[in-house]
Amino acid sequence: MTARGPALRLLPALDDDNRFFWTSGADGRLRFLRCPACRAYVHPPAPRCPECLAAGLAPEPVSGRGRVVAHTVNVHGWIPGSEPYLIALVEIDEQPSVRLTTNLVDVEAEDVATGMAVEVVFDEHDGVFLPLFRPAERTAP
Amino acid sequence: MSPPAEEPLERRAAITGIGQSAVGRRLGRSGLDLTVEACLAAVADAGLTRDDIDGLATYPGMGVGTPGFAGPTGPEVHDALRLRLNWHDGGGEGPGQMRALIAACLAVGAGLARHVLVYRTVTEATAQGGGGRQGIGGDGGGDGGGGVPRFSGFLQWMLPFGAVSAVNWIALVAQRRMHEFGLTRDQLAQIALNARRNAAENPAAVFRDPLTLDAYLGSRMISTPLCLFDCDAPADGSTAFVVSHRDYAPDAPRTACHVQAVGTALRGRPSWDQFDDLTTMAARDAAAAMWERTDLRPADVDVAQLYDGFSVLALVWLEALRFCGRGESGPFVADGTAIARTGSLPLNTAGGQLSGGRLHGFGLIHEACVQLRGDGGARQVVRRGGPPEVAAVSNGGGPIAGALLLTRGRG
């Protein structure tokens, strides 16, 4: 049985730049900053669009769907009490250059394939909504 | 791309002295003690006294990383040796651990200093004691105040998901290479087995007992597909160099190792998880930049000391430096012959960091000099009846990368 993540969640320190991201899951939606000029999604948060340097970036919801770029099962007990858990790099469907390091959940390690479709699910810890990913229940696009 | 018409500034520099302290798993000595030992050895090896030293550089310097990682600061070493400096530098950002050496080369080339002492010291084995290796952020309860610390900067994107060690971040690279290129664990093992074979001939190496493929494959997983023997060994030790202007080289008592070119580029995003090509990351850029600064070609390299903090990184560097094609490093190392001391490209001849100990990049530079000087003893590589003439060195993994090309007898 692959665990959902480490036994203890080390959490981000929320500030004015990242709060929208880490609390976005309160309504079940994943959000990234988006450029009003070139429409690029920007991650991690930045004061201007790193592509076209436009100002005025604002959070926008995305579908929450993505694909697994790479994955690993952490076995070593860095955090006491942890069972093996899946760490993955997931690229988002809207813009594959935007990636999240995350945990894959509701899936056994041997069933994970590179490129598999996944969808976001949030685990809340002390007001922080961690975006995790599970195998997608694909509907026709 | 053709090399720049003007001679690269780093070519005015040569490593004229090398020194290494005792190296071991838990020496129980202070970082400053080890550093002074290595520095004095390097200065004497260069045929100099401390009065000749007018520059000092270190990686990473003050206040960086987990316990035992940083070593003493520049000012501590400066004062411990009562140096009188015209130039001094330390920092943890830049083209890999060798950033300190590269900075020294440029300082010498620019005339800011004539003889620069460069050092890197680790006491990670002693700092970790019997408790084993820790992740970044410790076990999460380390603030002593009952609360759990929270994290900012790039760590906030990693630690909440239990990606608390570089092994997790590099395991993703290894798995992606298995997916894209068909890399196998048997191929990965060759980096570790080769390192152990070479370490057997290095009295200073921390692991010298024979390692078999079966033992490798049977060892415990750390973060799939990387097992215990894919990870370097925390060590205590200090490595030091004297970087001089090349016009001192004829007067130096030992063979000078001339700096032919350095590679410092980082053209992709400086990020563990956002870099465009997960299979190469920054090694691609640093290696390409190095070859843009020299007429020498990969086929001219006689010996390679490539960063192996994790085994897969040596494979990444083999491709980045164009010793084999993209995605072909697995087959290149598969039977172990090409990278053996008698092979076409002897690799990590002192045991690398996997078996030699995690001297964090500087051990690899040291061994490149040992080989160019012909001081390798039982592990000496022989080329055309003598010591190697050209050595390639790389430092770093993920978004951190620096490359260095050293030559014997030609500046």
Within-domain flag for A112? yes
pLDDT at A137: 83
Q: What is the rounded distance in angstroms from the CA atom of residue B76 to the CA atom of residue B292?
A: 37
Q: For chain B, report the end-to-end CA distance as a whole number of angstroms.
A: 22
Q: Is residue A90 part of a domain?
A: yes
pLDDT at B143: 43
Q: Is the pLDDT of residue B134 over 90?
A: no
Task: Provide, as residue numbers in chain A, all residues whose Cβ is less than 8 Å from the Cβ of B160.
Answer: 9-12, 128, 130
Mean pLDDT of chain B, nearest integer: 94
Q: pLDDT value at position B138? A: 59
Q: Which residue on chain B is closest to A7 by alpha carbon? A: B162
Q: Are A36 and A48 in contact (CB under 8 A)?
A: no
Question: Above 60 in pLDDT, residue B90?
Answer: yes
- Contact state of A10 with B173 under an 8 Å Cβ cutoff: no
CA-to-CA dists, residue A108 to A2, A73, A103, A135, B13, angstroms: 6, 10, 12, 10, 54
Distance from CA of B342 to the nearest CA of A (A): 35
CATH number of the domain bearing residue A89:
2.40.50.840
Helices (H) and strands (E) in chain B, counts: 12, 12
- Of B175, B200, B169, give the one whose Cα is nearest residue B188: B175
Residue A2 lies in a domain: no
Q: How many domains does chain A have?
A: 1
State how far residue A12 is from chain B, nearest Cα, in angstroms: 5
pLDDT (mean) for A136-140: 70
Sign of the C-alpha dihedral, residues B66, B227, B200, B253? negative
Establish if A1 belongs to a structural domain: no
Write the residue in B162, B167, B176 that is nearest to A6 by C-beta: B162
Q: Looking at CA atoms only, how far is residue A140 from chain B in angstroms?
A: 27
Q: Do residue B223 and residue A80 have CB atoms under 8 angstroms apart?
A: no
- The residue whose two tokens read 């894919």 is B230
State the residue range of the domain holding A119.
19-135
Answer yes or no: is pLDDT of B2 > 90.
Answer: no
Judged by CB atoms closer than 8 Å, whether chains meet at A72 and B157 is answered as no
* CB proximity B175 to A under 8 Å: yes
pLDDT digits (tens, 9 = 90+) for B299-315: 999 999 999 999 999 99
What are the structural domains, with CATH classification, of chain B?
Answer: 9-128+233-408 (3.40.47.10)
**Domain contains A82:** yes
Contacts of residue A80, Cβ cutoff 8 Å, sequence gap at least 6: A7, A8, B139
Average pLDDT over residues A37-63: 98
Q: Which of residues 345-404 of B touch A (CB under 8 A)?
A: none
Rounded average pLDDT over A79-86: 96
CA dist A72 to A84, A86, B162, B273, Å? 10, 6, 11, 14
pLDDT for A138 equals 62
Q: How is residue B370 written in tokens?
A: 């040992």
Which residues of B fall within a CB distance of 8 Å from A44? Answer: 154, 157, 274
Predicted confidence (pLDDT) per residue in B243-260, tens digit: 999 999 999 999 999 999
Bigger pLDDT: B138 or A63? A63
B279 touches chain A (CB under 8 A): no
What's the confidence (pLDDT) of residue B410?
Answer: 57
What is the per-residue pLDDT for B135? 76
Q: Is residue A7 part of a domain?
A: no
pLDDT in tens, A27-47: 999 999 999 999 999 999 999
Q: What is the pTM of this model?
A: 0.96
- What is the pLDDT, as a whole number, of residue B5? 66
Q: Is residue A74 situated within a structural domain?
A: yes
For residue A127, the chain B residues in CB contact (below 8 A) are none
Smallest CA–CA distance, residue A128 to chain B, in Å, is 10
**B337: contact with A, CB 8 A cutoff:** no
For B152, which of A13, A71, A114 is closest by C-beta distance?
A: A13
pLDDT in the model for residue B183: 98
Q: ipTM > 0.90? A: yes
Chains A, B: CB pairs < 8 Å: 128
Residue A8 has pLDDT above 60, yes or no: yes
CA distance A139 to chain B (A): 26
For B221, which of A44, A75, A103 is closest by C-beta distance?
A: A75
Q: Give the per-residue pLDDT at B259.
A: 98
Whether the predicted pLDDT of B389 surpasses 70: yes
Among residues of chain B, what percentage have pLDDT more than 90?
91
Token pair for B184: 């196998």
Q: Are A74 and A48 in contact (CB under 8 A)?
A: no
Nearest to A87 among B154, B156, B163 (CB): B163
- Whether the per-residue pLDDT at B144 is higher than 70: the answer is no
Residue A134, pLDDT > 70, answer yes
pLDDT, residue B366, reads: 98
pLDDT at B63 over 80: no
Q: Alpha-carbon distance B59 to B329, whole Å? A: 30
